[in-house]
Chains A and B, each alone.
Chain A
């Protein structure tokens, strides 16, 4: 039985071996095991882990019955709004700041040293300070997410600009670019992949931070759903919220990859 191997290159033929069949089945076995485990734990010890039917029922109920007068999708949107606002601010501030640090060594020494002493403080550790300074409104939450998101953007932008290939700078000199042209048309584009990678990290960090901020103090958002479930001993709600967080987080990852494709089309060429 000769058959085209899907993963092989064009014109490569391969016989289906018993091993291929095993490889094909293995993912199903492992997923089946997960489902079985979930099922058996939740039937034997329903306190430890909510059952599938209970989780599903909770999700259906969540659609019909808002929590704190905010519907299910409203909580998702509330979290997303915070992340998007913080990300936008982090990009607008972080990319120019990182560029400055990466491009000019003197400025890097002066401002970079300040940045370096603030950097090791985890974004979540800012939460108490920000809450006592700004209360528990929308702004403090966005600010916390901003702190989490701006760090990787600055770090990556700085690294990207520091390591611009001398060759491209030579081309700038050879074709008589002025300083601004070398920075804007040579250095920054060549650091673009690093900057985008920073934005990707910032997005996933931001999603994690918003969750923590909402768990600590909020009346809306997916993180609030988790704490609400915990406080009301409503484990199915916790699980629904966790799954939601996972799915939205994964979608955000896909979205940033799409943006990367759009901004760096030359990286897509294989």
Chain B
């Protein structure tokens, strides 16, 4: 570390300060953002029809925790509705996507068979499946979960596929020369070495799933956080929309943190 301290500021990179300084800067950044936001509205530089004050949002959060008005569901109910859809679609996407990607990457026959179909489906954004899904499954949990499934499935397949294709050839040869068969090498060498990228895929999948969910709930739903913000638009209530956005963002960030935690546990050698 000493190496960096000496030359750091020659380059103007703002290095070498204490971690306390950096933490304070971060806090100052967030606080000034909130302050400017609040002041813009206090002094009516931005109309209250388009934005709501941070202080109002805190009060609204407390209110919405137990009250269903105006969108018809309390915040915990909306969160629960969205989580159910997101998690079921996501879980299915991971459980089918990762193994499929791994198998495609290892066994040429499966690759040749699945890849053409996959390449046709891949470029079509999941939300454009909404009309067809509605015809097939209505607008309930199943239909949304199906769309989320698509959005999670695709990055899982792509990343696991790439991950296992990048398995070190030397490791494969070592396994094979020590008498392991193709299948044994697959799960003893191929799968572990594909794990980091498979996790990267799951990370993308979580992001996609959550963002697609919001779209699906705005387009076709009667519950959930996406529904809540589209109701906010209908009632011209920017505070409802902003609260919804913040909760959506927070949950997304929580998912991400949780995933990092699991990732560090599973991939111990890093």
Closest Cβ of chain A to B215, distance in Å, is: 4
B238 CB contacts on chain A under 8 angstroms: 129, 132-133
Q: Mark B12-53, 1 if CB is under 8 A from A, else 0.
A: 111101000111011111100100000000000000011100
In the complex where A120-B256, A124-B215, A128-B230 touch, is A113 in contact with B131 (Cβ < 8 A)?
no
B249 within 8 A of A: yes
- The one of A106, A126, A249 that contacts B17, using a Cβ cutoff of 8 Å: A106
In A128-152, which residues have CB < 8 Å from any B CB?
A: 128-129, 131-133
In the complex where A30-B117, A49-B132 touch, is A109 in contact with B112 (Cβ < 8 A)?
no
Report the contact-size class of chain A (Cβ under 8 Å from the partner): 35 or more
Closest Cβ of chain A to B54, distance in Å, is: 12
B135 within 8 A of A: yes
In the complex where A133-B50, A208-B125 touch, is A30 in contact with B15 (Cβ < 8 A)?
no
B167 within 8 A of A: no
Q: In whole angstroms, how far apart are the Cα atoms of A121 and B253 in the complex? A: 9
**Closest A-chain residue to B7, C-beta based?**
A173
Residues B245 and A30 in contact, CB atoms below 8 Å apart:
no
Residues A132 and B108 in contact, CB atoms below 8 Å apart:
no
In the complex where A48-B136, A128-B229 touch, is A27 in contact with B28 (Cβ < 8 A)?
no
B252 within 8 A of A: yes
In the complex where A48-B135, A107-B14, A114-B33 touch, is A215 in contact with B125 (Cβ < 8 A)?
no
A114 CB contacts on chain B under 8 angstroms: 29-30, 33
B112 CB contacts on chain A under 8 angstroms: 23, 26-27, 30
- The one of A27, A47, A110, A124 that contacts B218, using a Cβ cutoff of 8 Å: A124
Residues A109 and B29 in contact, CB atoms below 8 Å apart:
yes
Residues B252 and A121 in contact, CB atoms below 8 Å apart:
yes
In the complex where A106-B17, A121-B245 touch, is A27 in contact with B116 (Cβ < 8 A)?
yes
A71 within 8 A of B: no
B194 within 8 A of A: no
A31 CB contacts on chain B under 8 angstroms: 116-117
A80 within 8 A of B: no
Residues A128 and B25 in contact, CB atoms below 8 Å apart:
no
A124 CB contacts on chain B under 8 angstroms: 211-212, 214-215, 218
Mark B residues whose CB is within 8 Å of A.
Answer: 7, 10-15, 17, 21-23, 25-30, 33, 49-51, 108-109, 112-117, 120, 123-125, 127-132, 134-136, 207, 210-212, 214-215, 218-219, 226, 229-230, 232-233, 236, 238, 241-242, 244-246, 248-250, 252-253, 256
A and B contact pairs by CB, cutoff 8 A, 25 listed: A23-B108, A26-B109, A27-B116, A104-B14, A105-B14, A109-B25, A110-B26, A110-B29, A113-B29, A122-B210, A122-B211, A122-B252, A124-B212, A125-B211, A125-B245, A125-B248, A128-B229, A129-B229, A129-B242, A183-B11, A211-B127, A212-B219, A235-B132, A242-B128, A245-B125
Report, nearest first, the 9 A-B pairs whose CB atoms are least far apart.
A122-B211, A106-B14, A128-B233, A109-B25, A230-B131, A26-B112, A121-B249, A110-B29, A120-B252
Given contacts A122-B252, A128-B218, A173-B10, 6 further A-B contacts (CB under 8 A): A34-B117, A105-B13, A120-B252, A125-B248, A132-B241, A243-B124
Mark A residues whose CB is within 8 Å of B.
Answer: 22-23, 26-27, 29-31, 34, 47-49, 103-114, 117-129, 131-133, 169, 172-173, 179, 182-183, 207-208, 211-212, 215-216, 223, 226-227, 229-230, 235, 238-239, 241-243, 245-247, 249-250, 253
